[in-house]
């Protein structure tokens, strides 16, 4: 924090402004002299506080950390607390973005190590005993002490163990961010972080099927649409990630998944869970772009107009609103 004393500048200004009065005010009484002296003293104590952006120093510090070590996340958090104690919310956002890149790199490297160590030791599949502890899906009571110790070490640095299609992996436990970042960053950033943490805990899909209801999937799409609309100038790297997630969720909302099909295999009717999601969108969020897309598609399904369904899907794909058979 840089403090600039204005004593010299203001005192000279005071002299210039008062010099023209010196000869015309020689008869001024003692009370006026005392007042001028008091004003002069007041001038001496005036200061201006200028906030210094700590992001350059923080970036340099974070760049020096080892992204293969989970301890680096804690070191980065402690440095953030130190440097951004009096920062503005905009500066705090900048600091979080620096941290987030590190956090993502560490998670990737830890997962690589987890896979290699598990494969080498023949214990990889046994890590399912601690998968899901981070979000409450598993209490870990049957896991051996060494695995519990491994899980606890991960948790203390902001990570956990997840599992998909029979394989375990290291992921981020974003509760780790709450105490350090939520009260510092801007309101849009906090809203983004809270939502991302919520979605990470709920998870999304596994083994070719949804782990959440289609209605919950629809709510994620609506949240993303409204956030993007309200925060058009949100940080580009996070905005691109958000738009990609929204596009993916919307694709599954239109197509379903292999093990969570859009249509019942036997009756060929719209799956009841998806019908509830479509009804929620068209009734509770009727003024959204998502509703404008779902409504004609839903009507085509009810009318058994497969040609119209295909036309709408082709249209939405061409407009880059959903993926082209990528998911």
Residue-wise pLDDT tens digits, 92-135: 999 999 999 999 999 999 999 998 887 666 655 678 888 888 77
Domain endpoint, select from 166, 201, 236: 201
Judge whether residue 23 has pLDDT over 90.
Answer: no
Domain endpoint, select from 155, 170, 201: 201
Note down the domain range covering 92. Answer: 53-201
> Once rounded to an integer, what is the mean pLDDT over residues 259-266?
93
Does 136 share its domain with 248? no
Helices (H), the chain: 7-22, 30-44, 55-63, 71-83, 89-121, 145-156, 178-181, 187-202, 214-230, 236-255, 272-284, 289-302, 306-318
Does 188 share its domain with 248? no
* Number of Cβ within a 10 Å radius of residue 198: 12
- First and final CA of the chain: distance in angstroms? 50
Does 93 share its domain with 197? yes
133-147 tens-digit pLDDT: 877 778 788 888 988
Does 191 share its domain with 71? yes
| CA 21/CA 280 separation, integer angstroms | 78
**pLDDT band for position 14 (cuts 50, 70, 90):** very low
Query: Coil, strand or helix: which one is 167?
Result: strand
Does 93 share its domain with 173? yes
At 205 the pLDDT is 92
| CA 172/CA 160 separation, integer angstroms | 6
Domain endpoint, select from 185, 201, 217: 201
How many domains would you assign to the chain?
A: 3
Judge whether residue 1 has pLDDT over 80.
Answer: no
At 69 the pLDDT is 98
Does 235 share its domain with 310? yes
Judge whether residue 37 has pLDDT over 70.
Answer: no
Whole-model pTM: value is 0.80
Does 92 share its domain with 173? yes
Judge whether residue 180 has pLDDT over 90.
Answer: yes
Q: How many CA atoms lie within 13 A of 164 on its CB side?
A: 12
Does 167 share its domain with 58? yes
Does 76 share its domain with 14? no
Does 142 share its domain with 171? yes
Does 33 share its domain with 158? no
């Amino acid at each position: 924090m840089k403090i600039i004393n204005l004593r010299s500048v203001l005192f000279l200004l005071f002299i210039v402004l008062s010099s023209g009065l010196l000869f015309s005010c020689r008869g001024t009484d003692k009370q006026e002299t005392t007042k001028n002296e008091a004003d002069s003293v007041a001038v001496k104590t005036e200061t201006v506080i200028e906030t210094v952006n700590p992001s350059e120093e923080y970036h340099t510090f974070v760049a020096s950390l080892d992204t293969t070590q989970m301890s680096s996340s804690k070191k980065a958090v402690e440095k953030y607390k130190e440097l951004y104690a009096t920062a503005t919310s905009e500066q705090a956002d900048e600091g979080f973005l620096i941290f987030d890149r590190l956090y993502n790199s560490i998670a990737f490297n830890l997962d690589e190590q987890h896979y290699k160590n598990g494969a080498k030791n023949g214990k990889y599949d046994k890590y399912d005993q601690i998968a899901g502890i981070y979000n409450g899906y598993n209490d870990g009571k049957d896991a051996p002490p060494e695995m519990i110790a491994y899980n606890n070490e991960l948790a203390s640095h902001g990570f956990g163990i997840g599992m998909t299609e029979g394989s375990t992996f290291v992921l981020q436990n974003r509760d780790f961010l709450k105490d350090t970042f939520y009260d510092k960053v801007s309101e849009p950033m906090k809203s983004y972080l809270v939502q991302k943490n919520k979605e990470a805990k709920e998870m999304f899909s596994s083994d070719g099927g949804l782990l959440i209801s289609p209605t919950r999937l629809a709510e994620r799409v609506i949240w993303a649409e409204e956030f993007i609309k309200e925060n058009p100038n949100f940080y580009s790297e996070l905005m691109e990630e958000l738009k990609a997630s929204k596009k993916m969720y919307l694709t599954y909302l239109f197509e379903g998944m292999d093990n969570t099909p859009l249509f019942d295999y036997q009756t060929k009717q719209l799956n009841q869970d998806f019908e509830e999601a479509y009804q929620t969108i068209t009734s509770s969020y009727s003024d959204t772009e998502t509703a404008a897309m779902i409504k004609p598609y839903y009507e085509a399904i009810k009318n058994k107009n497969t040609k119209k369904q295909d036309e709408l899907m082709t249209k939405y794909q061409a407009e880059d609103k959903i993926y082209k058979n990528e998911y």
